[in-house]
Amino acid sequence: MESFVFAAVLFGAACHASWNAVIKIGLDPFLTTILVAVAAGLVALPFVPFVGLPAAAAWPWVIASILIHLAYFIGLIGAYRSGDMGQVYPLARGSAPLMTAVLSAMLLGEWLSPAGWLGVVVLVSGVFLLSARGGRELVHLDRRAVGFALFTAVTICAYSLVDGIGARVSGNAHAYSVALFVGNAAIMAAYGVALRGGGIVADMMPYWQRGLAGGALQLASYWIAIWAMTVAPIAVVAALRETSVLFGALIAVVVLKEPLRPVRVVAAVAIVVGLALIRLS
């Protein structure tokens, strides 16, 4: 992987952790998630005249991804309602890379080198270690929160593969990304109104600035990832994105005042070692 792509994906990971923190800080995870998704679509919309629309062959992938992302947001909302960010976020993000690596190898023939596989395993081990002693003790793991987090992980694996393939089919990762975010905004707005009614708009308006910031971060994060998956193996990009847990852990400790334990330092070292192995593979 080229250094520029590597650095870009890491920057996207930081953006990803930041918009997830916006959700956790918000009054209601449901309202905040809807607000951020809609805001991301609104930020993406002005780019349509500049990037165009994806090729016709890519639209089935766009539609599939929109539906998978709806499931992803539902899982994320449930997870954040039930557990601490320091526990939920690493579980949700850390369970997906190995699944993605195995499936991309089987379906796309993108086999990693031995060093690459080792790097993914070490990185994921660090991610899980972060979640093992998050905001709660291991013995007090909330089963509901863990269930939602693991469901979210399955959707992450699914949309990573779908979007990696779809962006390649489209021949224009930027057009694909914009179409996806505009579509996500539409379906999330409809989902929100269906569950909360028209009053949802008035409920969200006082927080439009926070939502706009979160939406811009969400757009930047995944737009970078979609582009990266067209120039690098999907499994590698998916694994690198999970370095967002480092940024997420920092946010959890500094902003959300969750406890800092030595195990998080060990986990961070493991993630950095995994990164180095992936970079050198």
Mind listing the pLDDT tens digit for each residue in 154-186? Answer: 999 999 999 999 999 999 999 999 999 999 999
- What's the token pair of residue 82? 């039930």
User: Both ends of the chain: CA-CA distance in Å?
Assistant: 8
Q: Return the domain boundaries, the chain.
A: 3-280
Mean pLDDT, residues 199-228 taken together: 91
Percent with pLDDT over 90 in the chain: 38
Q: Give CA 262 to chain center in angstroms.
A: 26
Element (H, E) at 170: helix 143-170
Q: Which range, of 68-82, 84-98, 192-206, averages the lowest pLDDT?
A: 84-98
Q: For residues 18 and 255, what is the distance between their CA atoms, to the nearest angstrom?
A: 11
Nearest residue to 130 via CA among 19, 222, 13, 244? 244
State the burial class of residue 47 (Cβ atoms within 10 Å of its Cβ: 0-12, 13-18, 19+). middle
